[in-house]
Chains A and B, each alone.
Chain A
Amino acid sequence: DAGVTQSPTHLIKTRGQHVTLRCSPISGHKSVSWYQQVLGQGPQFIFQYYEKEERGRGNFPDRFSARQFPNYSSELNVNALLLGDSALYLCASSPRAAGETGANVLTFGAGSRLTVL
């Protein structure tokens, strides 16, 4: 069975540009979460989506947005990129929604490494 898949694996952008990162959850998982991991730090929660609805949001600016599609895949969008947005962006899936038992049992993908120049 395929795990959580993310694309692209690596990308380079310049300041001010926009980026879209994609995630496909494990088959049968309806919840997708996004995390940002800056070099040398632990992952930081950005969003959680379940059944196409936002169920949780971390402390990130409005330049960050996401959506979930009917097939439960998800996109993370970041506008007006800053140098500080350079990080590994991790997607995780779960079979449960926020508020349900087991919602925090996450399976992570390998991430998309974004470099902003």
Chain B
Amino acid sequence: AQKVTQAQTEISVVEKEDVTLDCVYETRDTTYYLFWYKQPPSGELVFLIRRNSFDEQNEISGRYSWNFQKSTSSFNFTITASQVVDSAVYFCALSEAGTGGGADGLTFGKGTHLIIQP
């Protein structure tokens, strides 16, 4: 069975601070995908990144960066110089490609509510 754990329920920082959201996953598959989604108050899940299990390179996109470490089964997300517009709930998710890349859907963590104070 697959599982995603986001231990941080809520994080509050002051604008311009850096913040890291943690994600730990469990899977028996050797081939899998990891995701981060952002959910603003409107409710729509906004896709941020997908990473497959064979690509451990860290990725940077503007103020966002992701650190994937298979040795610790972690896929952490860092926002540099946070802004008020970053306030949202962030979800980490896992898809086991061994079953066919999507037939069982995505397994989401419980989310981290990020509050950026001005």
Contact = CB atoms under 8 A, between A and B. Distances in A.
Interface of A: 31, 33, 35, 40-46, 48, 55-56, 58, 88, 90, 92, 94, 96-111, 113
Interface of B: 4, 33, 35, 37, 42-47, 50, 91, 93, 95, 97, 100-111
B108 A98 contact: no
Contact of B110 (A33, A42, A46, A58): A42
- Per DSSP, are chain A's interface residues mostly helix, strand or loop, or mixed? loop
B108 A44 contact: yes
B108 A43 contact: yes
Contacts of B95: 104
Given A42-B111, A103-B101, A104-B97, 16 more contacts: A33-B105, A40-B110, A42-B93, A45-B105, A48-B102, A48-B103, A55-B103, A90-B45, A97-B102, A99-B101, A103-B100, A103-B102, A104-B106, A108-B44, A109-B44, A111-B43
A43 B102 contact: no
Contact of A56 (B4, B93, B97, B104): B104
A1 B41 CA distance: 22
Contacts of B35: 104
Given A104-B95, A110-B42, A98 B110 contact: no
A110 B103 CA distance: 22
Contacts of A105: 47, 50
A56 B108 contact: no
A56 B37 CA distance: 21
A106 B49 CA distance: 11
